[in-house]
Structure 1
Amino acid sequence: MKLSVIGCGYLGAVHAAAMASLGHTVVGIDVDQEKIDKLSAGQTPFFEPGLDEILQAGIDSGRLSFSTDYASLADAEVHFIGVGTPQRRDGQGADMTYVDAATNGILSYAKPGSLIAGKSTVPVGTAARLSELAAAKGVRLAWNPEFLREGFAVKDTVDPDRLVYGVADATRDEDVATLDAVYASILERGTPRLVTNQATAELVKVAANSFLATKISFINAMAEISEVAGADVTQLADAIGHDVRIGRKFLNAGVGFGGGCLPKDIRAFAARAEELGKGESVAFLKQVDEINLRRRQHVVDRVVDSFDGQVFGHRVAVLGLAFKPDSDDIRDSPALDVAVRLKGLGAEVVSFDPEAMDNARRLHPQLAYADSLEHALEGAEAVVVVTEWKQFRELDPVATAAKVARPIVFDGRNILDPVAWKAAGWTYTGMGR
């Protein structure tokens, strides 16, 4: 099929390349000329495992192209909206500027009878509003939310755990048939497909993110209690995780969640609930957000305490800047936030991340960035692990002790073995341990 993808950021670039890898002819459209030039040359504007390969393969095959001109989508049968919905500057809600602009751009050139499939995370009610605009141009609209995990985005696109179609009742059969044709090879593998109305599809993504954020903040709240009670939150998580109603996944206490989705999505969801007169239904999300944010300061406080309340002038190695491993994304990153807060208190912060340092340097040039993990550790009076990269997880405590000035480590992700590190002479502090 002929497809267009509007927005070539994280979501859109991955979706465009993945759809081309499934055999479709795809044009990706974005207003950022520099981004389009990079993608057209086979260069990804961000780090995502596996994307380089399918991007170049799509370009080489002739099935994948990129443009800043909306006119290039005129022949497409399905138009995917994959633009960002950042938090508004004047409040907690989602900024719909880019979604609205993408919709208007599509409708200026789309042929009657084609389908717009929204993938962006939007406030419930958006699809109904945009459907009226589309109908006036003879274009159909459905909502097809994405469920990408950074670091696994390519796999999550070509081999998702489910597909959700939110369609208008009047065009249900036609819209479903069109999306089935797009995802035919995925459906042939037995991937679950759920057909809902538009409002349900819009709620699926924010509900999923809200549940995930709640689970993470719950175990971090338990970590706070565990520390003062003398318990070990990792053993607590293991014990309650055996309950099939709860499960062990995402019960890992640490410095909290970040990224471009969870924080802004739960805030936007709470704001939309307020607009609908049901703010009390998700009022708990404000506490989820508060628990998450105070974990960052908790790590900073523990580091400061190790210097008897004065961190000024002391060399601190911060290992990690991305909000999660296998990503260079620093949006709302707890790791970067910890580094910035320590620097603000006068610490001599030296940071290292395998992929995110260029992004961090552009945003926070005041920080010092090491060119290697060894350089970051050299002479450090405290080591703070805040992103769970494999190379941090696999650090040898004995060899690492020989590099630092003071063997004190703060395990912000509970990825190190406390017994081994203590045996090597380290003062070890975990989260809730």
Structure 2
Amino acid sequence: MRLTVIGTGYLGAVHAACMADIGHEVLGVDIDADKIRALADGRPPFFEPGLRQILTRNIGSGRLRFTTSLREAAEFGDVHFVCVGTPQQRDSLAADLRHVDAVIDALAPHLRRPCLIVGKSTVPVGTTERLAARLTELLPDASAVEVAWNPEFLREGYAVHDTLQPDRLVTGVVSSHADEVLRAVYAPMLEAGVPYISTDPATAELVKVAANSFLATKISFINAMAEVCDASGADVVTLADAIGHDTRIGRRFLSAGLGFGGGCLPKDIRAFTARARELGVDRAVAFLREVDEINMRQRRRTVDIARELAGGTFTGRRVAVLGATFKPNSDDVRDSPSLAVAAAIHREGAEVCLHDPEGVDNARAVLPALRYSPDVSTACQDACLVLHLTEWSQYRKLDPVALAAVVRTPNVLDARNGLDAELWRSAGWTVRALGRPTPGRQPVHVTIPHAAGLGWAAPIDAGRLSLAPK
């Protein structure tokens, strides 16, 4: 089958390459000519494990090409996947659908034959219906073009695996024809036994935002428990292990730490509340406001604990930050909790030196005032404090004895609860971790300033990464 993938960012580039890998002829489309040239050369413009290999293989086979022309896409494709971004609006909590709308408006004039337009971007419920109505206005025979929704459930760092071996496929369709087409697109996955849920578009749209809201809630719940543990002397890791044995709860996403970030969960839960308000059911999802506030408060708590470890002030202190990306196995620094903390510490007078295995270039573009190091040892040279902020696997394997020899003061704050605290303490380090007791330290209740201004009342400014309430 001939497929186009419109939008070749984190979602679209992976989807295009993987659809070619299962045997389809695929044309990737983007208005960014530099990105298209890079992809056509087999060079993904971002880091995603396995993507370069799958790109190269399918470009070489001739099944995968790239273009900037929507006219060419319209002539080529039987199915058009829409994979453009839906960021948070700058002046509200709602999703910005300008890119999605622009695709429909630009593609429609070139459509000359029956086709299926399939959205994969995360959108507010009701978007499919609205886009179908728009096509009716734009096309002389809109009956030949259908709109369906097929939300993505990719995890950055595992996107290739999640596309080729998804844990489920969800499609929102209005006709048996659209259902048959999508079953044909995903035939190899269905033959492998992947669950396939075919439903109406509104339900499919809600599945994605409901899933992200649940995951965000679970993360903020365990981080709220970490805050209680810090005040009471309890251990949040043991707590999570204990409640995680309950099969109704499960252990996944119960890892207390710095909280979630990136280009999905934060903006998706905000957009969900905005859409619920439009539908008159905002009270039904009012709890998501607290989920977001807890998440943002973890950044402030991390800064406060780091300041305490630094002796009460960051002025004149050198601080090493391990991790810039919002999660490991990615170079994505969008709404990165790690960068937010690094920026706040820098603004308070610290000399911050940052290391990240893949995200340094993107971090430097956002925060050029920080220092960046190609290796951990150099980043930690003469530091009075080391912050473990992104849980890259190589950080768990660090030798605390060797690292103690290069720092000025062996203090480490493990904001991801990923280090072996006893191993580091045996090497002479003072170790603090979120929600875990520190030997010899009495729990102290600290009142954290209200965090509404840290991202709920207004969109996160990715350039400023401010933690200060507005």
So what's the TM-score if we normalise by structure 1? 0.98
State whether residues 35 and 45 of structure 2, in contact with CA within 8 Å, keep that contact through their aligned partners in structure 1. yes
RMSD, matched Cα = 0.9
What is the match of residue 59 of structure 1? 59
Give how far 1:422 is off. 1.1
Gaps of 5+ in 1: none
Give how far 1:81 is off. 0.3
Query: Which segment is superposed worse, 340-349 or 368-377?
Result: 368-377
- Alignment deviations for residues 245-264 of structure 1 (CA, whole Å, 9 cap, x no partner): 10000100000000100000
- Alignment deviations for residues 188-208 of structure 1 (CA, whole Å, 9 cap, x no partner): 001000011000000011000
Alignment of 1:49-128 (within 5 A): 49-73=49-73, 74-128=75-129
* Secondary structure of 2:417's aligned partner: coil
The match for 2:237 among 234, 239, 243 is 234
Give how far 1:309 is off. 1.8
1:292 and 2:295 are equivalent in the alignment: yes
State whether residues 48 and 150 of structure 1, in contact with CA within 8 Å, keep that contact through their aligned partners in structure 2. yes
Distance 1:428 1:75 in 2: 59
The match for 1:199 among 178, 198, 202 is 202
| Structure 2 residue identity aligned to 1:65 | R
Give how far 1:417 is off. 1.2
Query: Which segment is superposed worse, 97-106 or 153-162?
Result: 97-106
Give how far 1:13 is off. 0.5
* Secondary structure of 2:183's aligned partner: helix
What is the match of residue 143 of structure 1? 149
Give how far 1:310 is off. 1.3
Give how far 1:108 is off. 2.1
State whether residues 325 and 389 of structure 1, in contact with CA within 8 Å, keep that contact through their aligned partners in structure 2. yes
| Structure 2 residue identity aligned to 1:248 | R
Distance 2:422 2:8 in 1: 46
What is the match of residue 41 of structure 2? 41
1:327 and 2:330 are equivalent in the alignment: yes
What is the match of residue 362 of structure 2? 359
1:4 and 2:4 are equivalent in the alignment: yes
Give how far 1:110 is off. 2.6
Alignment of 1:248-263 (within 5 A): 248-263=251-266
What is the match of residue 374 of structure 2? 371
- Alignment deviations for residues 36-69 of structure 1 (CA, whole Å, 9 cap, x no partner): 1111111100000000001111111111111111
| Structure 1 residue identity aligned to 2:158 | F
| Structure 1 residue identity aligned to 2:56 | Q
Distance 1:161 1:222 in 2: 29
The match for 1:304 among 303, 307, 320 is 307
Query: Which segment is superposed worse, 111-120 or 148-157?
Result: 111-120
- Alignment deviations for residues 66-94 of structure 1 (CA, whole Å, 9 cap, x no partner): 11110111121100000000000110000
Give how far 1:305 is off. 1.2
Greater relative CO, 1 or 2 (CA 8 Å, sep 6+): 2
What is the match of residue 130 of structure 2? 129
Distance 1:309 1:278 in 2: 45
Give how far 1:402 is off. 1.2
1:392 and 2:391 are equivalent in the alignment: no
State whether residues 75 and 110 of structure 1, in contact with CA within 8 Å, keep that contact through their aligned partners in structure 2. no
* Secondary structure of 1:79's aligned partner: strand
1:176 and 2:174 are equivalent in the alignment: no
So what's the TM-score if we normalise by structure 2? 0.90
State whether residues 4 and 76 of structure 2, in contact with CA within 8 Å, keep that contact through their aligned partners in structure 1. no
Query: Which segment is superposed worse, 225-234 or 389-398?
Result: 389-398
What is the match of residue 342 of structure 1? 345
State whether residues 310 and 384 of structure 2, in contact with CA within 8 Å, keep that contact through their aligned partners in structure 1. no
Distance 1:273 1:133 in 2: 22
Gaps of 5+ in 2: 437-470
Give how far 1:106 is off. 2.3
State whether residues 75 and 111 of structure 1, in contact with CA within 8 Å, keep that contact through their aligned partners in structure 2. no
Distance 2:381 2:261 in 1: 28
State the aligned residue count.
430
What is the match of residue 280 of structure 2? 277
- Alignment deviations for residues 135-165 of structure 1 (CA, whole Å, 9 cap, x no partner): 5433011100000000000011111000111
Give how far 1:111 is off. 3.5
State whether residues 310 and 385 of structure 2, in contact with CA within 8 Å, keep that contact through their aligned partners in structure 1. no
What is the match of residue 213 of structure 2? 210
What is the match of residue 248 of structure 2? 245
* Secondary structure of 2:368's aligned partner: coil
Distance 2:191 2:308 in 1: 57
State whether residues 2 and 77 of structure 2, in contact with CA within 8 Å, keep that contact through their aligned partners in structure 1. yes
Give how far 1:239 is off. 0.4
The match for 2:164 among 158, 167, 176 is 158
Query: Which segment is superposed worse, 133-142 or 77-86?
Result: 133-142
State whether residues 27 and 72 of structure 1, in contact with CA within 8 Å, keep that contact through their aligned partners in structure 2. no
State whether residues 85 and 122 of structure 1, in contact with CA within 8 Å, keep that contact through their aligned partners in structure 2. yes
| Structure 2 residue identity aligned to 1:184 | A
State whether residues 79 and 106 of structure 1, in contact with CA within 8 Å, keep that contact through their aligned partners in structure 2. no
What is the match of residue 447 of structure 2? none
Distance 1:161 1:359 in 2: 31
Query: Which segment is superposed worse, 87-96 or 416-425?
Result: 416-425
- Alignment deviations for residues 108-132 of structure 1 (CA, whole Å, 9 cap, x no partner): 2234321001000000000001112
* Secondary structure of 1:371's aligned partner: coil
Query: Which segment is superposed worse, 399-408 or 320-329?
Result: 399-408
State whether residues 114 and 139 of structure 1, in contact with CA within 8 Å, keep that contact through their aligned partners in structure 2. yes
| Structure 1 residue identity aligned to 2:110 | Y
* Secondary structure of 2:151's aligned partner: coil
Distance 1:134 1:23 in 2: 30
Give how far 1:133 is off. 2.7
Distance 2:76 2:5 in 1: 13
